[in-house]
Homo-oligomer: A and B are copies of this chain.
Amino acid sequence: MDMKEVTIFSPATVANVSCAFDIMGFAVEKAGDRMVFRKISEKGIRIKMKNYRELPSEPEQNVAGVVALAIIEKIKPDFGILIEIEKGILPGSGMGSSGASAGGAAFGINQLLGEPFEKDELVQFAMLGEALASGVKHADNVAPNLFGGFTLVRSTWPLDVVPLTSPETLSVSLIHPLIEVKTKNARNILKKSLLMKDAITQWGNVAGLVTGLLTNDFGLISRSMHDGIVEPVRAMLIPMFADLKQAALDAGALGCSISGSGPSVFALSENLSVAEKVTQAMRDVYTGLDVPFETFTSGIGKQGCRVVDENYEK
């Protein structure tokens, strides 16, 4: 009995976890896209955007599409695939919108094909979508999107994704100011070099953050969430960043930094109840300003992409 259709949830992700710039990310449990993959008789890939119809639906120009094309190029199924995409993560939010489309496409098609690929291989396919979206073939978002939880991307070439355990109750607050920050621009303002002493401070904090996550040490996670290199430069692109961060910490957050390349800002907290207070504190900073925004409060998405519904042929 072959699968005819599968519906999946593809989670939002936070990449560049404070000090862990370009090497770490995590999945968000309660924010993400919904994608349906359906076998069709006409070969090839068809994309249907259920919202955000301004995004291109030609497979070659669509983030999910290029991933799907690469997979069927390899497997050559005797059927076509229609992908319906309902974005829950706004493009340009810094919450891994393109990563969710790319990772979700790899995961969903793999399900429809009977899971011929391992997660590592799905990450490789999904990176093609990131390359289309931002010009850089990176795994910061698609790795946690596919593996779930926190992931370390120790190396991109060759790809070395290491899933990291994290404290059971760890929770995230996210605030997304509805302004556009292009990943390319956020990359271009970064300095090309840094002082050795600042690099040492940063990798000391990276080591502390990883240790804190793996040993469930909230204090160490908190002491390690300092980014002296990227955050100070990118903060200028985000309205009231310093105030958001101070409000989050005052409300009990373990740490607070920029999600991906922004403009979303995330904070980690010991549990969901603290995270709710932290989200409220960040909302209060923006209330009364002219900047529209949305917020999320969630556990860590331990599972990554997941099947929510499936239909089989009779």
Contact = CB atoms under 8 A, between A and B. Distances in A.
Question: Which of A203, A214, A223 has the most C-beta atoms of chain B within 10 angstroms of its own C-beta?
Answer: A203
A257 to B, nearest CB: 15
Interface residues of A, dominant DSSP: mixed
B20 A201 contact: no
Interface string A10-21: 000000000111
B20 A207 contact: yes
A160 B217 CA distance: 13
B203 A23 contact: yes
Interface stretch (A103-111, A120-128, A147-155): A147-155
A259 interface: no
Interface in A163-177: 164
Given A22-B200, A203-B203, A204-B23, A152 B193 contact: no
Nearest to A21: B200
A40 B233 CA distance: 59
A210 interface: yes
Contact of A205 (B154, B202, B208, B223): B154
A289 interface: no
Interface string A183-208: 00000001111111001111111111
A195 B153 CA distance: 19
Interface string A204-234: 1111101100110000100110000100000
Contacts of A23: 200, 203-204, 207
A162 interface: yes
Given A190-B196, A194-B193, A160 B20 contact: no
A24 interface: yes
Contacts of A203: 19-21, 23, 199, 202-203, 206
Give this chain's copy count: 2
Contact of A199 (B164, B194, B205, B211): B194
Given A207-B210, A211-B214, A155 B194 contact: no
Nearest to A155: B204
A191 B193 CA distance: 12
A211 B160 contact: no
Contacts of A229: 196, 199
Nearest to A20: B207
Given A154-B220, A154-B223, 18 more contacts: A20-B207, A23-B200, A24-B207, A152-B204, A152-B211, A154-B224, A155-B223, A160-B208, A162-B208, A191-B196, A192-B195, A193-B193, A193-B196, A194-B199, A199-B199, A202-B203, A206-B206, A214-B214
**Which 4 A-B pairs give the minimum distances between C-beta atoms?**
A154-B208, A203-B203, A23-B204, A199-B199
